[in-house]
Amino acid sequence: MRDGVKVKLGLHLSIAGTIDRVVDRAVERGCDTLQMFSRNPRGWRSKKLSFREVESFRKKLKQSGIWPVVIHTSYLLNLASPKEDVYRKSVEALGDELRRAGELGVPYVVTHLGSHLGHGKKEGSKRIIASVNNSFSEVDNKVVLLLENTAGTRNSTGSSFEDIEYIASRIKDRERIGVCLDTAHAFAAGYDLVSRGAVEHTLRRFDETIGLKELKLVHLNDSKQGLGSRLDRHEHIGMGKIGERGFRNILKSPLGRLPLILETPVDERRSDVENLKVVRELAK
């Protein structure tokens, strides 16, 4: 609870078996919201969703009260790639994810923006813009694509709020674009999220650059590496460099009112359910 308001927490969960089983897993873990892949994240091909799968998923989701649900695009996608074969497959896969989300009644698809592989941020951004515009022209539904900020690793695009706004502002159907803020990525990219003042300053910068109304989802992750490290290394909540102090302040901020998806490790130190419990304790 945060000032009498329940935080909306969830996990990224497996779709192993049939896709409707991901809802069962979310219910078992006590999730309020949910993120998933809609297909094999390590392959380009996708199996068409059957009518039975879609109906079962929609029915279970409605009964569970879990909302919203988010589809994360495949690890293989690189919308900024200068390699034509990879770029073509990435654009096709993005369109496929938007279609699948529409079939399943999922409101959001979140995607990494990719790597320009040394060809420059401007060229990478140009390709991302073209890929999203193409996908939206091919898939006419109400699914919103969420652009996820990156940690600023070498050749990546989208680590700064300015980079994300540059891309978003050039999408023809801006109403179908939103932002997913990953706390570990933001911290690694140099946006401080530890003290109350730092969180307020970071969110003010976001609001002035992009607008807080565009922020639809938070990936709530701690960072193994320090502020501005530009290394994408997720850690258990409170065990990393953002720490418990940082997450208390994050949860008290406007970020705490958004759907929060944890992408933390699962190891002998802590399970995903235990991470949910820690966040709920910090939110009190």
What residues are labeled active site? Answer: 42, 72, 75, 112, 148, 182, 185, 219, 232, 234, 263
Does a cis peptide bond (omega within 30 degrees of 0) precede residue 41?
no
> At a CB cut-off of 8 Å and minimum separation 6, what does 13 contact?
22, 25, 26, 29, 31, 34, 35, 36
> How would you classify the pairing of strands 234-235 and 222-223?
antiparallel
Distance spanning both ends of the chain, measured CA to CA:
5
Q: Which is nearest to 114 in space by CA: 104, 100, 135, 128?
A: 128
Give long-range contacts, CB 8 A cutoff, 24+ apart: 45-52.
46/93, 46/96, 46/100, 49/19, 49/100, 49/103, 49/104
| Joined tokens for residue 27 | 């219910």
d(CA 137, CA 103): 17
